[in-house]
Structure 1
Amino acid sequence: MLVNNEEVFKSFAFYGTLSMFKMIGLAAWTGKTKRATQSFINKEDAERHGLPEAKTNEDVQRVQRAHRNEIENLLPFLGLGLFYCATRPCTVVAKWHFRVFVIARFIHSVAYINCKSKERSLGFGLGALVCLSMAGQCVAFFYKYA
């Protein structure tokens, strides 16, 4: 069996699902912000909402950038997390990796939407450190099989 610690894998699945749920929430937040600001970049969307022309809005673009950044960071976490589960990590350490990533990404998204640069950097940095830690442990573990 690839993943020999069911508890670690279930924890990864839980926190990975929370992260994907938040990512979906950011997509919904984008739609809400578009409607609230009456900002639609596609002509057909503007017309559907009774607007004469398409337009952009900084708030919409900010939420879209937060969403794109979430996708860019969630994909490595999901891939690395799956490999990491196969390295037989300590259960407590693995759970803390997953928890810190989710908390960090939540901080990042909230800070991004609210224009908080320091907090956004903190959230990004913590999430990146978690992924780097998992990647390093995966490389060390799997090197002997390469």
Structure 2
Amino acid sequence: MSLYTSHNPVFATFSFYAALLIIKTLFVAFLTGWTRFRKHAFQNPEDCNKMNRGKVKIDEDVERVRRAHLNDLENILPFLSLALLYIGTDPNLGTAKFLFRTFTAARFSHTFVYAVVVTPQPARALSYIVGQLVNLYLIYAILTSYASSL
């Protein structure tokens, strides 16, 4: 049986959480655009409208949401790649569910405390660190699983 089919519960679990993370990333991209229009803050002169008289306007709220989106791209994309490699090690379902759920919760939390309801540190840092710990564990599990076959 292939590990990369819906018949494998680890892959099915990964697929579910990967879809949630991708939806969240797309939502934050939408949130960036919505915040730009709401605040009339555009970075490109050709995007400026009559309300800000064609002047480029940088807004901290827009920049905060944009940084949250960039942070998602920097963290979710490696997770998705690592998780696919991890599935190839035929991991325990309980462990895989824990890792996928933990990472997903950390990323949702990170966006919430960074871009939606600005919360003082260490909330954002803790969310970031939890996600990084999951990625580091995935790297460790992948390397130790395949090291013996080299």
Q: How many angstroms apart in 1 are the aligned matches of 2:89 and 2:2? A: 9
SS at structure 2 position matched to 1:117: coil
Structure with greater helix share of residues: 1
Gaps of 5+ in 2: none
Structure 1: gaps of 5 or more residues: none
The alignment's TM-score, normalised by the length of structure 2, stands at 0.91
The one-letter code sitting in structure 2 at the alignment partner of 1:119 is A
Partner of 1:84: 86
Paired residue secondary structure (2:148)? helix
Structure 1 residue 51: deviation in Å?
2.8
Using the aligned pairs only, state the percent identity: 37
Aligned counterparts of 1:2 and 1:125: Cα–Cα separation in 2: 33
- The answer to whether 1:125 aligns with 2:126 is no
Asked if 1:33 corresponds to 2:35, the answer is: yes
Q: Is the 8 A contact 1:2 1:86 kept in 2?
A: no
Match of 1:59 in 2: 61
The residue that corresponds to 1:14 in the other structure is 16
Residue 2 (structure 1) shift: 5.4
Letter in 1 for 2:128: F
Q: What's the secondary structure of 1:55's corresponding residue?
A: coil
Q: Aligned-pair distance for 1:116?
A: 2.9
Alpha-carbon offset, residue 35 of structure 1: 0.9
Q: Report the TM-score, using the length of structure 1 for normalisation.
A: 0.94
Partner of residue 104, structure 1: 106
